[in-house]
């Protein structure tokens, strides 16, 4: 494992690894690093971390120091000089009559080298221009020809989506884009609609290409002969994002119907007529292809025919209200029982005290009526009364000696025998 930090020299530019040399660099801090061009000023976009040795190109360039106030002033001074150099170079280009478009001038951190970026349709002989520039600025001069994509990245701007250019904002490098991607995504092949400001195909065509390729594998092609729940027919259109297809039924004059991809069974994929030996299956078998949402899932989620969020919320609040109404009388009955029995005081008594006196009297009358009804319905016969009286006497005889022993705890055994 190798300790590195990630440094970026331009906004939206490529990230490079450097050896921190024992320094702790936080994300967003400016640093001075050593490169093949000399000392450069950059911004840390990845703090100290470790990566595999295979992902690092050895030897790593070191970090010289953290940027100071003096370094910040030097960078601002270089930016001021770049604007002046751009105007001077433009005048010399017009003097030499060269067909080239100057895009940007860039100073190195120590000011020993100036790079001029330009675009041109073909090759340009700028040897005389380089000599004049070297005599004016007394520094090393480099003229670099770039493409229209790099020009758009340097200049910046807004795309047709209304957002800043992806290449100027976050793209590290340009990825290859082809017209085949536009065909896969069912986009218009009009160059003005699928091209960016630079005149090349938009970079965003690459972003969702993998998702479209995966959807194409599951969906049938247009004009495919398929079976669906309502019969057989040909596919008229395919929606890759929703994974739905429209089928034009054979025995129907209605407009094409929309189905899920899971409801379709492909007989022949692609353009072609109905197979000669093909026999359409019965309607009962085709009806099995229809997608039916599981009722258990709908009930568990509480989703009936009400799919509006406000309706579901009202339904939930009503259920909560019924539960509260059911719980309140139960708690009131419990508190009333505790107060009548006299077993618990405190919270139960306080809760019972809040009940109105009229309700308490009504409850007592109801309890008395229930007791009387139980006494009338459960009248025992004579034999039952005798058995109950006999059992009562037995119970009394059993408890009397123990009761007397408890009272005469200090008495002798003789006294107990005489009492029996």
In this predicted structure, what is the pLDDT of residue 300?
Answer: 53
E strand or H helix at 404: helix 382-407
Residue 180 lies in a domain: yes
Mean pLDDT computed over 17-42: 87
Q: What is the average per-residue pLDDT within 181-192?
A: 87
Task: Please check the confidence at residue 45 and state whether its pLDDT lies above 50.
Answer: yes
Query: For residue 239, is it within any domain?
Result: yes
CA distance 414 to 420: 10
By the 10 Å C-beta count (0-12 exposed, 13-18 middle, 19+ buried), 61 is classed as middle
164 in the same domain as 140 = no
How many Cα neighbours within 13 Å face the side chain of 385? 5
Higher pLDDT, 345 or 227: 227
* Average pLDDT value for the chain: 77
Residue 244 has pLDDT above 70, yes or no: yes
Find the range with the poorest average confidence among 189-203, 244-258, 296-310. Answer: 296-310
* 129 found inside a domain: yes
pLDDT at 118: 93
Q: Do 132 and 90 belong to one domain?
A: yes
Asked if 226 contacts 250 with a C-beta cutoff of 8 angstroms, the reply is no
* Position 266 in a domain: yes
Please check whether residue 348 lies inside any domain of the structure: no
- Indicate if 96 and 43 belong to the same structural domain: no
Total domains in the fold of the chain: 4
Token pair belonging to 40: 């450069």
Angle at 383 between CA 381 and CA 384, to 5 degrees: 65
* Domain identity same for 79 and 37: no
CATH number at residue 122: 3.30.300.20
Instruction: Pick the range with the lowest mean pLDDT from 30-39, 296-305, 349-358.
Output: 349-358
Name the domain boundary from 256, 271, 287.
Answer: 287
Q: What is the domain range of residue 13? A: 2-67
Q: Is the pLDDT of residue 283 over 60?
A: yes
- Indicate whether 399 belongs to any domain: no
pLDDT (tens digit per residue) in 339-374: 554 444 444 444 444 445 555 556 666 555 554 555
Say whether both 129 and 162 belong to one domain.
no
**Assigned domain for 325 exists:** no
Residues 29 and 87 grouped into a single domain: no
DSSP-assigned beta bridge partners for residue 42: 31
- Residue 269, C-beta contacts closer than 8 angstroms, at least 6 positions apart: 220, 221, 224
Q: Scanning the structure block, which residue is given the tokens 């200049």?
A: 155
Collapsing DSSP to helix, strand or coil, 323 comes out as helix
SS3 241: coil
Q: Are residues 199 and 239 in the same domain?
A: no
Q: Which residues contact 187 (CB under 8 A, 6 or more apart)?
A: 193, 194, 205
Q: How far is CA 106 from CA 45, 53, 142, in A?
A: 22, 33, 10
Asked whether residue 304 is assigned to any structural domain, the reply reads no
Stronger pLDDT, 34 or 312, i.e. the higher one: 34
**Last residue of one domain, picked from the residues 176, 197, 214:** 214
Residue where a domain stops, chosen among 67, 94, 122: 67
Residues 58 and 96 reside in one and the same domain:
no
- Please tell me the pTM assigned to this model: 0.57
Tokens 């008495």 belong to residue: 411
pLDDT digits over 122-146, tens only?
Answer: 888 888 999 999 989 888 999 999 9
């Amino acid at each position: 494992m190798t300790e590195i930090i990630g440094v970026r020299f331009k906004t939206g530019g490529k990230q490079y690894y450097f050896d921190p040399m024992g320094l702790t660099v936080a994300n967003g801090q400016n640093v001075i690093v050593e490169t093949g061009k000399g000392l450069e000023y950059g911004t840390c976009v990845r703090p100290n971390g470790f990566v595999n040795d295979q992902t690092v190109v050895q030897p790593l360039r070191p970090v010289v120091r953290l940027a100071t106030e003096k370094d910040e002033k030097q960078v601002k001074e270089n930016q001021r000089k770049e604007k002046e150099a751009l105007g001077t170079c433009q005048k010399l280009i017009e003097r030499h009559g060269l067909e080239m478009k100057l895009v940007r001038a860039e100073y190195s951190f120590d000011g020993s080298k100036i790079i001029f970026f330009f675009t041109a349709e073909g090759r340009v002989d700028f040897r005389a221009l380089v000599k004049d520039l070297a005599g004016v600025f007394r520094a090393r001069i480099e003229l670099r020809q770039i493409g229209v994509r790099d020009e758009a990245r340097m200049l910046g701007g807004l795309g047709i989506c209304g957002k800043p250019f992806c290449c100027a904002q976050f793209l590290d490098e340009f990825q290859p884009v082809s017209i085949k991607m536009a065909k896969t995504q069912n986009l218009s092949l009009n160059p003005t609609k699928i091209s960016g400001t630079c005149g090349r195909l938009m970079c965003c065509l690459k972003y969702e290409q993998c998702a479209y390729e995966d959807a194409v594998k599951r969906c049938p092609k247009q004009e495919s002969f398929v079976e669906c729940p309502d019969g057989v027919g040909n596919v008229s259109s395919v929606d890759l994002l929703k994974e739905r297809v429209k089928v034009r039924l054979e025995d129907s004059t209605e407009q094409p119907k929309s189905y899920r991809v899971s409801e379709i069974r492909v007989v022949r994929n692609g353009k072609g007529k109905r197979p000669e030996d093909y026999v359409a299956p019965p309607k009962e078998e085709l009806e099995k292809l229809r997608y039916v949402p599981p009722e258990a899932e709908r009930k568990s989620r509480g989703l009936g025919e009400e799919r509006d969020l406000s309706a579901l919320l009202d339904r939930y609040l009503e259920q909560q209200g019924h539960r509260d109404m059911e719980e309140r009388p139960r708690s009131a009955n419990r508190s009333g029982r505790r107060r009548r029995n006299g077993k618990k005081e405190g919270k139960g008594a306080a809760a019972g005290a809040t009940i109105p006196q009229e309700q308490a009297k009504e409850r007592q009358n109801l309890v008395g009526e229930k007791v009387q009804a139980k006494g009338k319905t459960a009248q025992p016969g004579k034999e039952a009364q005798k058995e109950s009286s006999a059992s009562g006497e037995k119970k009394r005889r059993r408890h009397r000696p123990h009761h007397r022993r408890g009272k005469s705890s200090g008495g002798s055994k003789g006294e107990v025998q005489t009492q029996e």
